[in-house]
Amino acid sequence: MTVGNQVLALAIMFSLAACVPVAPEPPASASRAPLDHLPALAGDYFPIQSAQTGGAYHIYIRYPESYSADPGRRYPTVYLLDGDSLFPYLAPHHLFLTYDDKLPDAILVGIAYGSFAEPVNRRGTDFGEGAAAFHAFLKRELIPAVESRTRSDPKRRILVGQSRSAGFVLFSAYFEPDLFWGRIASNPSFPAHRQLLLAQAPPSAARRDLKLAVASGTDDRPNIRSGTLQWFEAHAKRPGPWQFRRIEIEGGTHAADMPNAYRRAMRWLFDLQSMSQSK
């Protein structure tokens, strides 16, 4: 190739490169997007370092729409385990339920790790062999923090979990039933708690208004579906100190039907069963 041809080829390359669009660098102030511009999620946030578990957690709070307009009102408070996914998933869903189903609005608290990857994400420990320490974190650290900074009704705490965190919801019901008024466990997985949940009698409780809803999708993963059915059978023989609702979701899979489980369970918790069961 002659010198003239080389120069021409370079000129063409630079010309083509100039035509490729380049995404602008975001300004430093936009490196983190605030949730305040998403009103279905807007509320509060604070980090907490737990002395009970040794872990760090990111706590997201979604306030009800009426929160500012009704300053004397206290609200049921829903504590969402696996908050990295369940908080952005269910907080808007709860808002729609207040619109369509007339479900009471609530404060929603997402308990997040900030990552799906270990070791930042501690769900394998917190919902398994470290469940007692994580429960102490909820009772001694998180709940007091939430109830000191929000108008949370301590008589209407609700604990919600999916899969492993649903197994923790069941653990909590057996470990200290009075701490939460309502509990929702969707497709629970509980390998670390099988002896407690399948072989031991449920504990007694001081409260007489406790409620527990357990949902299972008929198309859940076979090993998890099998464990849930075993728990249903064990619970039928040894009922706990709570009102109980078994929720079967026909065709429901492991995670994608969490909103269906939440909807049906919350309607039952708040006695909205007069409405169509198809909702």
Give 212-266 pLDDT, tens digit per residue: 999 999 999 999 999 999 999 999 999 999 999 999 999 999 999 999 999 999 9
How much of the chain, in percent, has pLDDT values that exceed 90?
83
What does the pLDDT look like over 168-180, one tens digit per residue? 999 999 999 999 9
User: How would you classify the pairing of strands 56-62 and 43-49?
Assistant: antiparallel
Task: Please tell me the predicted confidence (pLDDT) of residue 273.
Answer: 62
| Span 24-39, average pLDDT | 64
What does the pLDDT look like over 82-140, one tens digit per residue? 999 999 999 999 999 999 999 999 999 999 999 999 999 999 999 999 999 999 999 99
What is the pLDDT confidence band of residue 36, given thresholds at 50, 70 and 90? confident
Helical (H) or strand (E) element with 217: strand 211-217
Task: Please tell me the predicted confidence (pLDDT) of residue 272.
Answer: 87
Q: Are 46 and 56 in contact (CB under 8 A)?
A: no
Per-residue H/E/C for 21-69: CCCCCCCHHHCCCCHHHCCCCCEEEEEEECCCCCCEEEEEEECCCCCCC
7 or 31, greater pLDDT: 31
- For 233, which DSSP code? H
Task: Please tell me the predicted confidence (pLDDT) of residue 23.
Answer: 42
Q: Are 68 and 150 in contact (CB under 8 A)?
A: no
Helical (H) or strand (E) element with 237: helix 222-237
Task: Please tell me the predicted confidence (pLDDT) of residue 107.
Answer: 98
**Ordered structural domains, the chain, with CATH:** 44-269 (3.40.50.1820)
Closest CA to 98 of 231, 266, 277: 266
Render 133-198 in DSSP notation, one character per residue.
Answer: HHHHHIIIIIHHHHHHHS-EEEEEEEEEEETHHHHHHHHHHHH-GGG-SEEEEES---GGGHIIII
Task: Please tell me the predicted confidence (pLDDT) of residue 2.
Answer: 52
Q: How far apart are CA 166 and CA 147, in angstroms?
A: 23
pTM score, whole prediction: 0.87
Task: Please tell me the predicted confidence (pLDDT) of residue 37.
Answer: 87
Task: Please tell me the predicted confidence (pLDDT) of residue 186.
Answer: 98
Task: Please tell me the predicted confidence (pLDDT) of residue 5.
Answer: 53
What does the pLDDT look like over 149-197, one tens digit per residue? 999 999 999 999 999 999 999 999 999 999 999 999 999 999 999 999 9
Task: Please tell me the predicted confidence (pLDDT) of residue 10.
Answer: 44
Task: Please tell me the predicted confidence (pLDDT) of residue 3.
Answer: 45
